[in-house]
Amino acid sequence: MVWTEEEFGVGMPLIDSQHCNIFKLLEDLVGTMRRQGTPAELGVALDGLLEYTKYHFQAEKMILDQYKYPDAESHGIEHQIFTDKITKRINEFKQNMMKNDGDNGDFKKMDLELITFLGDWLTEHIQKRDRDYGNYCRQYPISPL
């Protein structure tokens, strides 16, 4: 999955840049999984993706608050639900990874499920929810982003 402006752009340069970075981190994670990286390498890739995503969510919150986006609260709730869910899944993934050293089918199934979940959620969220606030914020410009 590769970020392109046509497919994932929300029309706000800072946010688009951060979304692009999230997709790069996700692609790095996929690459680490494909080459059967060590549990430590996978842990670093997962943690990096999660931490950057949390940073991005904070940036979005600040922007939505600055623009007084009317749906900011529910948008933030979606972010929190995602963060909680992905933190739990990453922790489960790491526990499974340590138990199995990535050698059995459960591990392979779990890594595919995790990547699919991340990609699907990010795609749907950006293309729908983030584009909604991008359209709103462009209608009421207050400062260049």
Q: What domains, with CATH codes, occur in the chain?
A: 13-139 (1.20.120.50)
Rounded to whole angstroms, the Cα distance separating 74 from 136 reads: 15
User: 106 pLDDT exceeds 60?
Assistant: no
* 79 close to 55: Cβ distance less than 8 angstroms: no
pTM for the structure as a whole: 0.86
How many other C-beta atoms lie within 10 A of the C-beta of residue 6? 5
Strand locations in the chain (E)? none
> What length does the chain have?
145
pLDDT over 90 (residue 133):
yes
Measured distance between the N- and C-terminal CA atoms of the chain, rounded to whole angstroms: 25
CA pair distance 34, 87, nearest whole angstrom: 22
Give pLDDT, residue 110: 64
List, for residues 20-78, the tens digit of each pLDDT value.
999 999 999 989 888 888 878 888 998 999 999 999 999 999 999 999 999 999 999 99
pLDDT at 126 over 70: yes
